Structure 1
Amino acid sequence: MTATRPSVPPFAAVPVVSVAAVVGVVLTAVSGRYGYHRDELYFLVAGQKLAWGYVDQPPLTPLLARVSTAMFGNTPMGLRVVSTLACAITVVVVALIAREFGSSRRGQVLAAICAAVSGFVLGVGHLVSTATYDLLAWMLICLFAVKLLRTGDGRWWLALGLTVGVALENKYLVVLPVGALLVALLIVGPREVLRSWWLLAGVALAGLVALPNVLWQIQHDWPQLIVAGGISEDDGVENRIMFVPLQLLQLSPFLVPVWVVGLLRLWRIPWARSVALAYPLLCLVVLAVGGKSYYALPLLLVVVAAGAERVASWSRRVVAVGVGLAAVTSAVFTLPVLPASAVDFVIPINKEQGEQIGWSSLADAVAAQWDRIPAEQRSSATIFTGNYGEAGALRRYGPSLGLPPAYSGHMSFADWERPPDGQTGPVLLVELERTPTYEAHFQGCEQVGTIDNIVSNDEDGAALVLCDSPAEPWSTLWPKLRRYY
């Protein structure tokens, strides 16, 4: 079987690595603009409370956040160093995938450039998120899967298993592309790669690496399923409506010709046909479960890698214009290149831009209202926030403002700490909007301030509400304040 498989061209290491290095330089240059993203503020706290799992995710991203800040400093730039490296490596892996499909030097370089100017790649590379490391893991999984299909060498199942296991320690979404690839193999082949003891060894290796988090989830009654169900229920309809438009916009509309050519090219290669089928299968699954559009984008990058060789033979001017337009639009919509006051322009397409602005100002506003509490009452007073972003911001910026640790019932903040029952004094609430059923847990509530951001993000207009005291002891109240989504 190996003899029927084609060999691959030499790897264009120097130009491909140069493209990746440029991406790294650009991401580093802008990484200090705006500020932390709400999820990054959460990861900073989670990284200080390392465990084998959290209610909403496995442990890898918080661990890497802690490593990055320990080595490079607790600033947005320091936090994002590891993320930037992961993005640069992703660009190289995309070129390696193109090479597996027989791409020459120019095809490999164009594949790397397409990845480098993709809005999705730049967006997740700029921030620390589970999607950042998911993308790199998915690209490695696809590289090893393509090597398996091209060579028929079952030993690649071990590399696949190891990578899947590590990816499961970051996010369970990896089961979606792996499942789509397996189903596609069953439908169009080559099925012989499934008849191997190496497959069982790969599955066992993946399970062994993922086991610590699986055990944690079992011990805690699988809270991640509750979180996933809540997200699907809240956003499922919108996710389905926006799925196709966002597939086009998040990768880049100017890369559509590349992935169309890639799909057609893959379908004409017998051993790679399953890769072409896996993408639409994954799209159907994501649509069915109401998942986010970016869940399918990593496989679309594989298709782009396959199309790069043919597109590289087109008019250089046409390709250069397309790549240039993709680079400019992707940068505007995914990187912090606009003045903060102009970010409202891009929020309808990429709300994550707005989620990086205003957190230090929120902490200042909370500190101003905290100072209104009489000094003799502050030792028994509490700051309670409605979500993990607010709590994370106050944990990051609060100490320098003289604020005590903020608490929240949102996600894993509910597990980490709760106020002691002895804190029976005033409670300063941070609420996205005032909610009577929420405030019913506290006595004598009055709005004392409003968050005024320069952008229309979630926190803009949030209410600061000062209550006289909790209505019950915190130990009794805490389960009622818990929120999984």
Structure 2
Amino acid sequence: MNRPPATATQTPDATTRQRVHPFAVRPVVAVAVLVGVVLTALSGRYGYHRDELYFMVAGQHLSWGYIDQPPLTPLIARISTTIFGDTVMGLRVLSTLSCVATIIVVALLAREFGSARRGQVLAAICAAVSGFVLGVGHMVSTATYDLLAWMLIALFAVKLLRTRDGRWWLALGLTAGIALENKYLVVLPVAALLVALLIVGPRSVLRSWWLLAGVAVAGLVALPNVVWQFQHGWPQLTVAGGISEDDGTENRIMFIPLQILQLSPFLVPIWVAGFLRLWRKLQWARSIALAYPVLCVAVLLAGGKSYYALPLLLVLVAAGAEPTLRWVDKHRIQAVIAVALTALTSAVFTLPVLPASAADLVIPVNKEQGEQIGWPAFTESVAIAWGQIPPAERSTATIFTGNYGEAGALRRYGPSHGLPTAYSGHMSFADWERPPDTNTGPVLLVEIQRTPVFEANFRDCKQVGTVDAIVSNDEDGTALVLCDAPAEPWSVLWPKLRQFY
């Protein structure tokens, strides 16, 4: 649809704000579905990620909240495995569909910024080949559904600014409320947008009863988890504080490099062009551009992880698709090569395309690859150590792990090796179950690193085995330590064994 020429009373900026081109449904959906097919084909190639093992156990203990997260992702894990099968592929079906939807929403954002068919398709392609989108789409994680929520919030915010229709606050509030049931990080982009609106406007969209209605909707949807956190002493604040304390300095140092690497270095010119376009030409959307640096400052101050700000880069990519087309028209061959290289590097570093034995090549850049490899072998090592306990003593013996990934793996694979229920004091595992006080026999500790202070809770500990992982992941070198008995009854010992991070 051709845009009418600007008049004295209708500037190009105003025209863009009032009208959009038709949505390029077929090519955009084709790009998104192609990614879905690739993700499905590769979804079972390695195995479960440690977080997925945790989510599956959490899904069997449905609640309005958990120590380290709201309830949505465990619920989705439960639904996906129930409908599509209790397998790696079955678990990841809804994650794949979320990725497909994210790509479509990025194209819709490009449309809101004035892109016609070709610009929308380019935006979809850029999202489809970006490392971050492929990485979170491949696995089940809170970031997977968080990304889709952020894209929808951005879409509704852009529609609000373009049309000045305050009713979009309701859609934004509803999406934010649902996102808060998945991860609290969603408050960051919303807060960044509000700060940007106060700085560069248009402030008129803030003077609306629809804004208050949107806030009310968000609060109402998020209320069950907020109540749960209140009733349990706000444990997620403790978890967040521990993560910031442990990793804050490293996160700040690596923030800018990872912003470039995790999305893709090849997409940098596009999101830079998008920022400049929003700031200089689409002045009604200036606050969208400013929201990104505001968000980056907030994440840096909090010591948060670099990916916390990545979704807003995809919004800038959507804005940059239209001006990038002019370069593509002049450099078609270079553009095809750039897309191919982006897709190749993103796939190698985020998807299980390499043999598991070669994953060490990419783990230094993306450690999540290694966290999907070796859990059955890990369980076999634990089973060998368990076999050193005399059969007569096993009925009162206990397996205690240092983290939720280990506990989740042993819950998943342990029964086939004759292992009993594995316990852990890590995150919500501490709330679900603890060993009975009648377990007065040997304790097999699974420790990534031997810790004398921790082992002091048990009697006469000695290392009886080591986990030799296939790749250099967190479990490589894990110590298997056999102790004679707990130093105190488990009911007394349990509060001392709780770990929040």
TM superposition score category, shorter chain reference: over 0.9
What amino acid is the match of 1:299?
L
State how far apart, in whole Å, the 2-side matches of 1:246 and 1:24 are. Answer: 25
What amino acid is the match of 1:287?
L
Match of residue 448 from structure 1: 464
What amino acid is the match of 2:375?
W
Q: Is the 8 A contact 1:391 1:406 kept in 2?
A: yes
Match of residue 9 from structure 1: 21
State how far apart, in whole Å, the 1-side matches of 2:195 and 2:354 are. Answer: 43
State how far apart, in whole Å, the 1-side matches of 2:346 and 2:253 are. Answer: 22
Match of residue 433 from structure 2: 417
State how far apart, in whole Å, the 2-side matches of 1:402 and 1:72 are. Answer: 27
Task: Please list, as runs of the form range in 1=range in 2, the aligned pairs for 1:16-415 lying within 5 A after superposition.
Answer: 16-268=28-280, 269-314=282-327, 315-415=331-431
What amino acid is the match of 2:411?
R
Q: Percent identity?
A: 78
- 1:287 aligns to what SS in structure 2? helix
Deviation at 1:168, TM superposition (A): 0.1
Match of residue 474 from structure 1: 490
Q: Is the 8 A contact 1:312 1:319 kept in 2?
A: no
Match of residue 6 from structure 2: none
Q: Is the 8 A contact 1:362 1:451 kept in 2?
A: yes
- 1:312 aligns to what SS in structure 2? helix
- Residues 363-422 of structure 1, C-alpha deviations (whole Å, 9 max, x = no match): 111111112211111110000000000000000001111111100000000000000111
- 2:438 aligns to what SS in structure 1? coil
State how far apart, in whole Å, the 2-side matches of 1:74 and 1:230 are. Answer: 33
In the alignment, structure 2 segments of 5+ residues that lack a partner are 1-9
State how far apart, in whole Å, the 1-side matches of 2:358 and 2:244 are. Answer: 31
- 2:365 aligns to what SS in structure 1? coil
State how far apart, in whole Å, the 1-side matches of 2:205 and 2:341 are. Answer: 41
Query: Is the aligned partner of 1:431 residue 2:447?
Result: yes
State how far apart, in whole Å, the 1-side matches of 2:72 and 2:213 are. Answer: 23
What amino acid is the match of 2:373?
I
State how far apart, in whole Å, the 1-side matches of 2:14 and 2:252 are. Answer: 44
State how far apart, in whole Å, the 2-side matches of 1:372 and 1:236 are. Answer: 41
Deviation at 1:3, TM superposition (A): 7.7
Deviates more, 1:267-276 or 1:41-50: 267-276
Deviation at 1:426, TM superposition (A): 0.4
Deviation at 1:345, TM superposition (A): 1.0
- 2:18 aligns to what SS in structure 1? coil
State how far apart, in whole Å, the 2-side matches of 1:106 and 1:373 are. Answer: 66
Deviates more, 1:119-128 or 1:359-368: 359-368
- 2:421 aligns to what SS in structure 1? coil
Deviation at 1:76, TM superposition (A): 1.1
In the alignment, structure 1 segments of 5+ residues that lack a partner are none
What amino acid is the match of 2:402?
G
State how far apart, in whole Å, the 2-side matches of 1:145 and 1:458 are. Answer: 40
TM-score w.r.t. length of structure 1 = 0.99
Deviation at 1:313, TM superposition (A): 2.3
Q: Is the 8 A contact 1:12 1:109 kept in 2?
A: yes
What amino acid is the match of 1:97?
L
- 1:49 aligns to what SS in structure 2? coil
- Residues 431-470 of structure 1, C-alpha deviations (whole Å, 9 max, x = no match): 0011111100000111000000111110000000111000
State how far apart, in whole Å, the 1-side matches of 2:71 and 2:48 are. Answer: 20
State how far apart, in whole Å, the 2-side matches of 1:175 and 1:323 are. Answer: 33
State how far apart, in whole Å, the 1-side matches of 2:451 and 2:283 are. Answer: 58
- Runs ≥4 residues deviating over 2 A: 1-6
Q: CA RMSD in A?
A: 1.1
State how far apart, in whole Å, the 1-side matches of 2:86 and 2:304 are. Answer: 32
- 1:74 aligns to what SS in structure 2? coil
State how far apart, in whole Å, the 2-side matches of 1:116 and 1:342 are. Answer: 25
- 1:16 aligns to what SS in structure 2? helix
What amino acid is the match of 1:430?
V
State how far apart, in whole Å, the 2-side matches of 1:464 and 1:208 are. Answer: 47
What amino acid is the match of 1:340?
A
State how far apart, in whole Å, the 1-side matches of 2:405 and 2:80 are. Answer: 20
Aligned residues: 485
State how far apart, in whole Å, the 1-side matches of 2:417 and 2:156 are. Answer: 50
Q: Is the 8 A contact 1:42 1:388 kept in 2?
A: yes
State how far apart, in whole Å, the 1-side matches of 2:269 and 2:283 are. Answer: 22
State how far apart, in whole Å, the 2-side matches of 1:420 and 1:260 are. Answer: 58
Q: Is the 8 A contact 1:311 1:319 kept in 2?
A: no
What amino acid is the match of 1:273?
R
TM-score w.r.t. length of structure 2 = 0.96
Query: Is the aligned partner of 1:461 residue 2:477?
Result: yes
Q: Is the 8 A contact 1:247 1:297 kept in 2?
A: yes
What amino acid is the match of 1:91?
I
Deviation at 1:318, TM superposition (A): 2.1
State how far apart, in whole Å, the 2-side matches of 1:3 and 1:15 are. Answer: 28
